């Protein structure tokens, strides 16, 4: 089901990052170790996204593309253009990083098995908008972030990795979001590295790391301590 890029070879995988906002995960993907994954394109649906300026500074091609008139999803005609822009540039992996739109068609079809998202909760807890606020409202003592492959649901795709953070009694949305974001910036580059090394495969809903590496499937991701 997953396209295994560069298996056995050494070629790099061109990564596109799709954002709506400031692009802090985009920046982490550019700066952190991602192995064969090389961020080469940023696309945003927001002409004022601070991420555009970041892309310029980081020497990554950045573009605004019109998403259509809907507020939370693509107009399929325009999603087609996003997919085409990525295809033309030989993109092998699509990373959603704060893109405030649901993919329904062209991008998922064109990049089947090679679209990832990061979500600021331990899914399946708190899918959808304002995951940090949902966590505070529920009163959990632990939350975190999840990198997952994207399917047609909202935050429902197979989980690649998860990292945890504590919730403190005096946390507000801002302090908790900042703590989770630190872990996002570690988790997302790790997931991209594993994917681009051809080490991830999806069996049913389960993402398996090959060759088997206990640290990749678990302790690493849970304790936030060991590194790849």
**Contact code string over 163-202 relative to its own copies, x by CB under 8 A:** xxxxxxxx--------------------------------
Angle between helices 173-196 and 24-31 (to 10 degrees): 40
CA dist., res. 210 & res. 222, Å (int):
18
Distance CA(1)–CA(62), nearest Å, equals 30
Residue selected from 153, 174, 204, 227 as contacting its own copies according to rule CB under 8 A: 204
**Residues designated catalytic:** 119
Nearer to its own copies (CB atom), residue 49 or residue 160: 160
Exposed/middle/buried for 50, CB within 10 Å: 0-12, 13-18, 19+? middle
SS3 101: coil
Residue 68 touches its own copies, criterion: CB under 8 A = no
Binding to its own copies by residue 209, rule CB under 8 A? Answer: yes
70 part of the interface to its own copies, by CB under 8 A: no
Other residues' Cβ atoms within 10 Å of the Cβ of residue 160: 25
Contact call for residue 158 and its own copies (CB under 8 A):
yes
Considering the rule CB under 8 A, would residue 211 count as an interface residue with its own copies? no
- Is 3 among the residues that bind its own copies (CB under 8 A)? no
Residue from 2, 38, 140, 228 in contact with its own copies (CB under 8 A):
140
123 binds its own copies (CB under 8 A): yes
Q: What is the rounded CA–CA span in Å between residue 25 and residue 189?
A: 9
Q: 206 in helix, strand or coil?
A: strand
Give the helix/strand (H/E) hosting 51. helix 50-58
218 binds its own copies, rule: CB under 8 A: yes
Q: Show contacts with its own copies in window 93-122 (CB under 8 A).
A: 122
Q: Which stretch binds its own copies (CB under 8 A): 44-52, 68-76, 87-95, 137-145?
A: 137-145
Beta strands in the chain (DSSP E): 13-19, 37-44, 61-64, 91-96, 115-119, 142-149, 159-166, 200-203, 206-209
Q: Which range in 4-12, 23-31, 53-61, 135-143 contacts its own copies by CB under 8 A?
A: 135-143
Q: Which residues bind its own copies (CB under 8 A)?
A: 122-126, 136-142, 144, 158-170, 204-209, 212, 214, 217-223
């Amino acid at each position: 089901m997953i396209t295994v890029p560069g298996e056995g070879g050494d070629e790099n995988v061109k990564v596109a990052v799709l954002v709506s906002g400031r692009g802090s995960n985009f920046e982490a993907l550019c700066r952190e170790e991602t192995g064969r994954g090389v961020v080469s394109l940023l696309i945003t649906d927001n002409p004022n996204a601070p991420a555009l300026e970041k892309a310029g500074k980081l020497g990554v091609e950045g573009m605004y593309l019109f998403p259509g008139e809907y507020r939370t999803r693509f107009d399929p005609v325009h999603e087609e253009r996003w997919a085409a822009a990525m295809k033309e540039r030989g993109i092998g992996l699509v990373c959603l990083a704060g893109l405030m739109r649901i993919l329904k068609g062209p991008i998922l079809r064109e990049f089947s098995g090679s679209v990832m998202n990061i979500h600021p909760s331990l899914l399946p807890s708190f899918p959808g908008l304002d995951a940090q606020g949902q966590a505070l409202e529920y009163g959990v003592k632990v939350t975190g972030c999840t990198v997952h492959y994207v399917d047609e649901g909202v935050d429902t795709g197979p989980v690649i990795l998860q990292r945890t953070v504590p919730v403190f009694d005096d946390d507000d949305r801002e302090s908790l979001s900042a703590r989770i974001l630190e872990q996002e910036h570690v988790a997302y580059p790790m997931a991209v590295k594993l994917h681009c090394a051809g080490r991830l495969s999806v069996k049913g809903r389960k993402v398996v790391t090959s060759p088997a590496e206990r640290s990749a499937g678990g302790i690493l991701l849970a304790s936030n301590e060991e590194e790849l």
